[in-house]
Structure 1
Amino acid sequence: MPTMLEMALSYQQHGFAVYPLAPGTRTPLKGSHGYKDATTDPKQAEAWWGEHPDYNIGLGLDGMLVFDIDMGHKSAADGNESLAKLSADGRAGQIPSTYIETTPNGGLHMFFTYPKNIKLTSRADLFSKSGEKTGLDYTALGVPVFPSIRENGMYQPLKGHKITKLSPAPQWLLTEIQRVNHPNPNLGSAAYTGKRWSGRLLDEMVAGTGNGNRNDFLTRIAGKLFFTGADPVTVYNLLFTTNDSYLDSPLPEAEVNKIFKSVLKAEERRRAVG
């Protein structure tokens, strides 16, 4: 088994930029800029992993996207089942042979190239019609890669697949990604007239925030979600969706749980007095 440093240098030698993740997690180091720190400089890799050999490896996805098929996710969504239904309905086509890694939760990360004239970021629950969880996500920012390890397992490449041999993303996937990134492009400004408080809240969630005030941002979002009268389970799921999909560097799961519990206690006190 190669060391983290050996693999980080190997990725760089093949032209890929890497950045460190906190040990045993998919989370960027505290105070870092996550995928924005990704570099092909071997001296920087030696500084990171030479001093901290237990850092996980993040891969900067410049010109690449990862189609994430979730299994065993906290939302209980079954990505394989969703993809099978989409194929049966004619909404998803064939998946070309490309580099694939299995994730610690038993899911799949499929790596593709895409045209650089398209601007992509990340999004959870592709192909969702009514807000349901599909377990089909994508990111074009950064992602943990082999041999990164989490408490429930390691990111592992499928046999016979090499990261140097990536296929272009299938058109049906790019079409869906562009649909959710730029919904209803022909509606014009009329679509935004009379925006209500809940609409502004949703815009705020999707806009996200920088690394400097992630805790305050998620605390504020949780409070506003509770103010809508939403059930705690709904607030919990939306808080994680905001953290995982709309922050450049998501907070660790334990930190988001801590924020949720704190705001929940405050909300319980408020409702008791009311």
Structure 2
Amino acid sequence: MTNADILREWALYCAAMGWPVFPLVSASKRPAIRGWEQRATVDRDRIARCWEAGTYNIGVATGPSRLLVVDLDTAKQPGEHDGVTALAEFAAGRGVALPETYTVATPSGGRHLYFALPDGVRLRNTAGLLAPRVDTRSGGGYVVAPGSVVAEGGYELLDDTDPAPLPGWLLQALCERPPTTTAPPRDMPVRQASAYAASAVQGECDEVRAAPAGRHNEVLSRDGLPA
């Protein structure tokens, strides 16, 4: 098989998983099209035509795929934890462990951990919110799919376990906000206020934070949120 054939098969594989895909510039992580999140597709005919036209890498649009992908990067400074270690310590500090899930190795030595979002929950991208060298990709984001190749190497599938449901403790952590001493203006315009109310999970997050000690999992378990 040619490189174009291999990339096409990986793109079709992702689509079969229910993950809308779009082309990335050959040997790159950059989108090859504008409006990629809206144009990402699982249509096999469209995918075949696209990848027959060139050796495009593959982007998975995480929002439309109903995924949250945890991006674990390598350490950048001597003595710094890499993302894998940092996330493991973060989980241990909460007395929990990460479940086995769909995992892709990145060319830099990092990892992409795929989790399925529960119905009704929408999350955005984060950078370092959980721990240093730990980012997340969801609504408005994308990840480079397995089978793609860049100058540093290829994105390799390490674990083809179906994406595990996003753990409740991880959802809670992503909803937590750092304390701030800056109060919002009292006379906030209606249009601005509605923008703050647009998050689909804000109410759930506030209830989790307000739950009495020992009842966080109970709060997370109701209304479709995982325990």
Structure 2: which amino acid aligns with 1:162? D
Between the aligned partners of 1:92 and 1:39, the Cα distance in structure 2 is 39
Residues 59 and 145, structure 1, Cα contact 8 Å, conserved in 2 = yes
CA distance in 1 between counterparts of 2:83 and 2:95 reads 13
Q: Is the 8 A contact 2:22 2:40 kept in 1?
A: yes
Normalized per residue, the structure richer in strand is 2
Structure 2 distance, partners of 1:28, 1:92, is 39
> In structure 1, which of residues 130, 133, 136 is the aligned counterpart of residue 134 of structure 2?
136
Per-residue Cα deviation, 1:201-248 (whole angstroms, up to 9, x for no partner): xxxxxxxxxxxxxxxxxxxxxxxxxxxxxxxxxxxxxxxxxxxxxxxx
Alignment partner for residue 10 of structure 2, among 7, 10, 13? 7
Alignment partner of 2:130: what SS?
A: coil
| Cα distance change, pair 37–72 in 1 and its aligned pair in 2 (3 A) | farther
In 1: Cα distance, 2:42 partner to 2:76 partner: 32
Distance (Å, rounded) in 2 between the aligned partners of 1:72 and 1:23: 27
Partner SS state of residue 173, structure 1: helix
TM superposition outliers: structure 1 runs of 4+ over 4 Å: none
Residue 110 (structure 1) aligns with:
113
Shift of 1:142: 1.8
Q: Map residues 75-90 of structure 1 onto 2, 5 A cutoff.
A: 78-88=82-92, 90=93
Partner of 1:168: 165
* Matching residue's letter, 1:113: A
Partner of residue 157, structure 2: 157
Percent identity over the alignment is 31
Answer yes or no: is the 8 Å Cα contact 2:87–2:130 preserved in 1.
no
Unaligned runs of 5+ in 2: 187-227
1:92 positional shift = 6.3
2:91 aligned with 1:99, yes or no?
Answer: no
Q: Secondary structure at the match of 1:16?
A: coil
RMSD over aligned CA atoms reads 2.8
TM-score, reference length from structure 1: 0.58
